[in-house]
Amino acid sequence: MSFHRLLVVMAAGGVSFTAAFATVSASAAPSPAPQTTRVDLRESDGVVAGGRGSGQTWVLARDRQNESLVLYRVSDGGAVRRTALPLKDSGALGAVAVASGAVWVGAGDTVVRIEPDTGRATNVIRLDAPASAVPTAQRAPDGTILGWGQINSIAVDSAGTAWVARYAVPVITRIDGFSLIASLIAIPEATDPDRLISTSSGIWFTTNFGLTNQLGAKVGKLDPATLTVQLVSVVAAVIVPSQAGIETLGVGRNVIDPSNLRVTKGTMPREMLSLSSVVSDSSGNLIARIARANRLLIFDTKGRAIDFEAGTFKSRGEEMAMVAPLAMLFSASDGAIWFAPRGGRSVYRAP
Q: Residue 31: its pLDDT value, please?
A: 53
Which ranges in 161-232 belong to alpha helices (H)? Answer: none
Fold of 8-350: Methylamine Dehydrogenase; Chain H (2.130.10)
pTM of the predicted protein model: 0.84
Q: Which of 22-31, 48-57, 249-258, 298-307 has the lowest mean pLDDT?
A: 22-31
Most confident of 109-113, 117-121, 280-284: 109-113
Q: Residue 291: its pLDDT value, please?
A: 80
Q: Residue 314: its pLDDT value, please?
A: 52
pLDDT in tens, 137-169: 888 889 899 899 999 999 999 999 999 999 999
Amino acid at 64: R
Q: Residue 249: its pLDDT value, please?
A: 83
Instruction: Please state, in angstroms and rounded to a whole number, the distance separating the CA atoms of residues 216 and 220.
Output: 11
Characterize 196-234 residue by residue with b for buried, 16 or more Cβ atoms within 10 angstroms of its Cβ, and e for exposed. Answer: bbbbeebbbbbbbbbeeeebbbbbbbbebeeeebebbeb
Question: For residue 53, what is the enclosing H or E element?
Answer: strand 45-53
Q: Residue 33: its pLDDT value, please?
A: 59
Band of pLDDT at residue 339, cut at 50, 70 and 90: very high
pLDDT in tens, 96-109: 999 878 999 999 99
Band of pLDDT at residue 244, cut at 50, 70 and 90: confident
